[in-house]
Structure formats: C-alpha cells, structure tokens
C-alpha cells in the first residue's frame, strides 16, 4: 500500500512542476505556483475489510503463523490401549491414571466431553494439561492442516478467498498456539455399546442414567500431544 501512495505523490509533484516549466516564444505566461498543499489519507486501506474488525489478520498470515507455531504428536503407545472404567464420575481420574502409567505426568483436566456425550455416542473425550513428558510434540507442515480437515485445497487458500481473516476458528486456534501450552488429548470408545450408540437418534438419551453401563472397558481411538485444543475439530467431529 505504501508503494502506491508514493507513486501517487510522485505523479502529483510531476504534474505541478510541469505547470511551472519555462514557456517557449509566443506562449502565454502562466501564473507561478507559490504555495502548494498536498494531503494524502494514509489511513486509506487498499482492501475493503468487508465489515470485519480493523485489526483482523489476513487469511494467509493466520495460516502461516499457525503452521510455524503448531505442535503435534500422535501418542502411539496409547492408541489401542484398553482402560477399564468403574463409573462415569470416576472416568476422567481412571483415564488419567492409565496415561500417567505410560510416563506422561498430567496436570488439570482442561476439557471433558461429559456424560451426555457418552450416552449419545458411547465415547469419552478428554483434554489434560501436561506437566512433564519425554515425548516431544513436533512442528507440522501446512499439509497437516489439510489432512485433518482444517484447510481446503491449496488453490482455494488465498487472500482473495479469506480477505481479512474471515476464518474465525483458525484465528481462535492461533490464539492457543501463541500461548503454547502443552496438552494431551485422548478419545476413547466403549468396547461393548449395549445400545449406547443406538441412542444417538433417539430422544431418551438426554434423560438416561449412565450408571447401568458401568463398569465397562474403553479402547483409546486416538491420543496426541499438542499446543492447540481445537486440533481435532474436524478429525473427530461430533455434536
């Protein structure tokens, strides 16, 4: 934008100087320009922000910074692990104990999908803060965001498509990445559903009691270390 403003200024000055150039014989005298005032609006934006906040970040800038800061590692030693859970109220603590036994020291429980998610889908979904681990979550390429469903095809990723940061969930992810807090995410499926999954389209799961389904065994479908709690937004989507 600055280059365009300087070009406009140079063109304006050339036109003014041209008016005072010496005249040839027989040409009428022109009044000499004594005072000149040029005003340029340096706040002018070369791109409309389409009603978005003035501090919105261009789409590609969001993606580039997100890729530079994002960390991710699938915890293979947990995937496929079977964990026996005695009750819905003790589930998070029992899952935590199983993870700790594999050398990952966990802090607070950050996110819990809750008993309603269990009754509707037969799964448990937790996010824990990590205190200490020898495992290292590593940087990822932009292709990784596409592979887990967070980006469209490369041909569609440009500022013409995302003019002024109109990719809200990626901006929210970027906020977490900047905070750079290491998390462990874990998703578990109940081995024997006994009708739990069938409740997904019924009306009674909202009023059902989880107690009769416990104790039961869960299998870890996925587990990862990351600095972004939203990383599974599309990979493991459910409502």
For residue range 204-225, what is the model confidence (pLDDT) as tens digits?
A: 777 788 888 899 999 999 999 9
186 compared with 52, residue with greater pLDDT: 186
The per-residue pLDDT for range 31-67, each reduced to its tens digit, is 555 666 666 555 544 444 444 455 545 567 888 888 8
Domain count within the chain: 1
Note whether residue 50 is domain-resident: no
Interatomic CA distance for residues 197 and 188, integer angstroms: 13
- 97 Cβ partners below 8 Å, 6+ apart? none
The per-residue pLDDT for range 148-174, each reduced to its tens digit, is 888 766 555 554 544 444 466 788 889
Name the residue range of residue 221's domain: 59-226
pLDDT at residue 81, rounded to an integer:
97
Note whether residue 20 is domain-resident: no
pLDDT at residue 161, rounded to an integer:
47
Note whether residue 34 is domain-resident: no
Rounded to whole angstroms, the maximal C-alpha distance in the chain is: 108
């Amino acid at each position: 934008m600055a280059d365009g403003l300087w070009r406009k200024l140079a063109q304006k000055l050339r036109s003014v100087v041209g008016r005072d150039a010496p005249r040839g014989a027989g040409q009428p005298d022109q009044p000499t320009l004594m005072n000149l005032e040029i005003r340029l609006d340096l706040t002018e934006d070369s791109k409309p922000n389409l009603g978005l906040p003035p501090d919105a970040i261009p789409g590609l800038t969001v993606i580039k910074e997100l890729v530079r800061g994002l960390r991710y590692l699938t915890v293979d030693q947990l995937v496929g692990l079977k964990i026996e859970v005695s009750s819905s109220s003790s589930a998070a603590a029992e899952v935590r104990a199983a993870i700790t036994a594999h050398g990952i020291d966990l802090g607070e429980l950050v996110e819990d999908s809750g008993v309603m998610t269990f009754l509707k889908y037969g799964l448990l979904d937790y996010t824990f803060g990590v205190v200490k681990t020898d495992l290292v979550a590593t940087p990822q390429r932009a292709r990784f965001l596409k592979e887990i469903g967070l980006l469209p095809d490369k041909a569609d990723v440009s500022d013409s498509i995302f003019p002024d940061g109109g990719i809200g969930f990626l901006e929210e992810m970027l906020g977490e990445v900047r905070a750079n807090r290491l998390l462990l995410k874990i998703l578990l499926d109940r081995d024997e559903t006994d009708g739990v999954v069938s409740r997904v389209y019924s009306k009674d799961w909202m009023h059902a009691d989880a107690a009769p389904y416990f104790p039961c065994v869960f299998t870890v479908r996925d587990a990862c270390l990351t600095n972004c709690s939203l990383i599974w937004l599309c990979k493991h989507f459910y409502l």
